[in-house]
């Protein structure tokens, strides 16, 4: 003859973050693949899914995998999974890599920092 209190604690996952019925995941993509485009297999709650990353994908771009989240408690369907692309920039460059990137900068005309400043 009393009240029963049940407390549930959800343990943090190694890869996923849950927000409501949606799941969030960050993936690292080399800057070459973000520039050229690629296809990657990403983990989901039910295995893996194929994600197409189009060419010229910018850092922090978020893709939605519809219906790959947590099942809704009230009714039908599932939440979504959101995959955020974290573009990996190399920490060291070989002399050949540096030459190639300098050549790309020359082709694109990327030489002056003032070109990258955005007005407010």
- Residue 115 pLDDT more than 80? no
DSSP string, 14-68: SS-EEETTEEEEEEEEEHHHHHH-EEEEEEETTEEEEEEE-TTPPTT-EEEETT-
Whether the predicted model's global pTM rises above the 0.85 cut: no
Residue pLDDT, tens place only, 71-94? 988 878 999 999 999 999 999 999
pLDDT number for residue 113: 62
pLDDT of residue 18: 92
The residue with tokens 């692309």 is 85
**pLDDT tens digits, 3-54:** 999 998 878 888 899 999 999 999 999 999 999 999 999 999 999 999 999 9
Q: Is 109 exposed, middle or buried (0-12, 13-18, 19+ CB in 10 A)?
A: exposed
pLDDT at 8: 86
Q: What is the pLDDT of residue 10?
A: 78
Pairing of strands 38-44, 81-88: unpaired
């Amino acid at each position: 003859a009393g009240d029963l209190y049940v407390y549930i604690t959800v343990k943090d996952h190694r890869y996923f973050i849950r927000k409501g019925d949606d799941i969030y995941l960050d993936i690292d993509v080399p800057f070459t693949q973000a520039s050229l485009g690629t296809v990657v297999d990403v983990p989901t709650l039910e295995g893996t899914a194929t994600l197409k990353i189009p060419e010229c994908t910018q850092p922090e771009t978020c893709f939605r995998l519809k219906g790959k989240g947590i099942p809704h408690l009230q009714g039908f369907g599932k939440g979504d999974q959101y995959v955020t692309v974290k573009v990996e920039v190399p920490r060291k460059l070989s002399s050949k890599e540096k030459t190639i990137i300098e050549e790309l900068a020359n082709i694109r005309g990327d030489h002056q920092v003032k070109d990258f400043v955005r007005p407010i």
